[in-house]
Amino acid sequence: MDPLEIMSDLNNVVPYFQPIFSADEHRVIGYEVLGTYRRKEEIESLGPFFLDESIPEEYRMELDDIILVKALDKAITLDKDVLLFIKRNADLLMKQDSEHLLGILLEYEKKGISINRIVIEISQKNPIGDFDHLDHFINYYRTYGIKIAIEDLGKDISYLDRIGQLAPNILKIDLQALRSSAVNHNYNELLYTLSMLARKIGSTLLFENIEMDYQLQFAWRNGGRYYQGPYLHKSEENFVDRDILKQKLKDKCHQFIVYEKKKLASIYTITESFNHTMIDFLHKYNKEEGTEAFLTMLAQKLKDAAFRLYICDEEGFQVSPNIFKGINNWSVQQEYMDKNWSWRPYFLANIMRMKTNKKGILSDLYTDIETGESIRTFSYPLTETDYLFIDISYHFLYEQDAL
């Protein structure tokens, strides 16, 4: 892309608007402003222009302003609650006077575009340099009601601590990595970490680059409030009807809810089945034979579901060996005796749940450290002080639709 051609033909620099839809209202809540260049009958994205560091900074900053002003001129006609998402390179933003961008936005506030409708998007790749300067910049803009979004998440979380410190209003998660349904469990864990961070710092999750139905379902299931991408609507030169997808999104939401309820019902059924199995087994078992014999007999009864069984006391100390299912047969792992597992997330909370409810519980899906497989653990209160843990295999969960 020839920068001189672009800068000498600014009349053909045109802002495009990609609609952003909400999960709670099923309608457009905002638009992301995208720079394009009209060459004859074709429209080209100006993304490469802004990413090319060989192009002088003053060219890129000037073009940013031109696109913004043209977008704001059109946005005057929008409803008063519609957000405008403005992309900015953090390095370029900090090289400008902090009043420069603010001055443009305040000028258009006089024309009816409230400044609290503006969302400045900053790429996570950029806050590597002068982080304190960026933090000061963002906090200054916040005093005027401007919202901040960190984009390009979903690829890694290298700067998670800095993102937490910036406490943006919106975390934008790129679902490009989810083009294939074969994405491994680690990606789900990364998304789970981001969703937990968002909850802790009070940020909203926006999933972008949604290209397929299952990506939309993934975004919904993982706490996304806002969605955008070509599957929903491509960017256009003009604004779309805010309710253009209202019925479609309502129907999709219903499908997702039905599916999720079915999965939860399956998990509930498994939990109840294990509880009934344990009640029946404990009624028949001779308690005088010891924990190893107890676990060995139980392992045979649960051979199609379990691959590891052990018992801990209420403080997390293991009072039995592991009974572990290898490739060919079960083995006894004495080395796990006296290990303490209270450091594991939710361990003590789950002990209290079992102590209070007097019944077993099924864990969330997680990755087993030793096998690397996605598993769940069924925990059961044997006595007031001893608790049984049964690790359930991936194969069994898959067959039961409980993954």
Residues 290-345: tens digit of each pLDDT: 899 999 999 999 999 999 999 999 999 999 999 999 887 999 999 999 999 999 88
Structural contact between residues 249 and 228, judged by C-beta atoms closer than 8 angstroms: no
Cβ 109 vs Cβ 115: under 8 Å: yes
For residue 18, how many C-alpha atoms fall within 13 Å in the half-sphere facing its CB? 22
pLDDT at residue number 399: 87
Burial annotation 41-64 (CB, 10 A radius, 16+ → b, else e) = eeeeebeebbeeeebeeebbbebb
Closest among 116, 157, 159 to 134, alpha carbons compared: 159
Domains in the chain (CATH in brackets) are: 3-233 (3.20.20.450), 259-399 (3.30.450.20)
Write down the pLDDT at residue 369.
86
Over its C-alpha atoms, the chain yields an Rg (Å, rounded) of 27
Residue 32, pLDDT > 80, answer yes
pLDDT tens per residue, range 83-96: 999 999 888 888 88
> What mean pLDDT is predicted for residues 107-135?
82
98-109 and 57-75 are packed helices; what angle lies between their axes, rounded to 10 degrees? 20
Choice among 210-214, 310-314, 363-367 with the minimum mean pLDDT: 363-367
At residue 392, what is the residue type? I
Of residues 136 and 125, the one with the higher pLDDT is 136
Structure-model confidence comparison of residues 236 and 288, the more confident one: 236
Strands 204-208 and 170-174: parallel
231 has pLDDT over 80: yes
Beta bridge partners of 149: 121, 170
- Go through the chain and tell me how many residues it has: 403
Give the pLDDT of residue 197: 86
C-alpha distances out from residue 3 to 52, 53, 60, 280, Å: 10, 11, 9, 76
Q: How far apart are the first and last CA of the chain?
A: 47
Whether the per-residue pLDDT at 246 is higher than 60: the answer is yes
Q: Report whether pLDDT(181) > 80.
A: no
- pTM of the model as a whole: 0.86
The pLDDT score that the predictor gives to residue 47 is: 92
Q: What is the pLDDT of residue 128?
A: 47
Please tell me the distance from the alpha carbon of residue 7 to that of residue 4, in angstroms, as a whole number: 5
Share above pLDDT 70 across residues of the chain, in percent, rounded to a whole number: 93
Distance from C-alpha of 134 to C-alpha of 126, rounded to nearest angstrom: 10
- Evaluated on CA atoms 201, 205, 209, 211, the torsion sign reads positive
pLDDT at residue 163, rounded to an integer: 80
